[in-house]
């Protein structure tokens, strides 16, 4: 019986230690020139060891997750990229710098208590407005 008590105690300590420390994060992506929303694509928040993502909706909003779209992410510093932002003719809506976290020059410090994020992006100047 003593072994069962130790197992239960260890199990409870393990479960308590595995509490969700993820920050529930949402945000919006807008064009820098006029504040209108980017309505297609996926926001990536990356560290050297993990990647979180959030799919943009028709109003430019997204919820971030590591396993699912809304499970949040651990506090850390993330580099940002936006992929899949194309129009109906499969033309890139953003300048090339946004497609890689190494070239976007945007980092985000995610901390407990943080709820939302706004990302301002550059339009692809080759597309008509």
Q: What is the pLDDT of residues 54-91, one digit of tens each?
A: 999 999 999 887 766 566 788 889 999 999 999 999 99
The pLDDT value recorded for residue 68 is: 61
3-state helix, strand, coil in the chain (%, to 5): 15, 35, 50
State how far the Cα of 68 lies from the Cα of 104, in Å rounded to an integer. 24
78 three-state secondary structure: strand
pLDDT tens for each residue of 21-30: 777 878 999 9
pLDDT at 5 over 80: no
- Angle, alpha carbons 11-16-22 (nearest 5°): 135
**Do 81 and 99 form a contact (C-beta atoms < 8 A)?**
yes
Percent of the chain exceeding pLDDT 70 equals 80
Q: What domains, with CATH codes, occur in the chain? A: 22-121 (2.60.40.1120)
State how far the Cα of 93 lies from the Cα of 45, in Å rounded to an integer. 19
pTM, to two decimals: 0.78
Q: How confident is the model at residue 112 (pLDDT cuts 50, 70, 90)?
A: confident
């Amino acid at each position: 019986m003593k072994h069962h008590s130790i197992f239960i105690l260890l199990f409870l300590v393990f479960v308590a230690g595995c509490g969700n420390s993820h920050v529930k994060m949402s945000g919006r992506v807008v064009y820098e020139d006029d504040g209108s929303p980017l309505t297609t694509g996926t926001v990536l928040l990356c560290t050297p060891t993990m990647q979180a993502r959030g799919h943009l909706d028709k109003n430019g909003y997204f919820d971030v997750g590591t396993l699912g779209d809304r499970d949040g992410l651990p506090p850390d510093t993330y580099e940002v990229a936006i992929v899949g932002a194309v129009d109906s003719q499969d033309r890139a809506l953003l300048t090339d710098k946004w497609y890689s976290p190494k070239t976007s020059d945007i980092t985000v410090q995610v901390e407990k208590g943080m709820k939302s994020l706004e990302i301002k992006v550059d339009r692809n100047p080759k597309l008509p407005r």
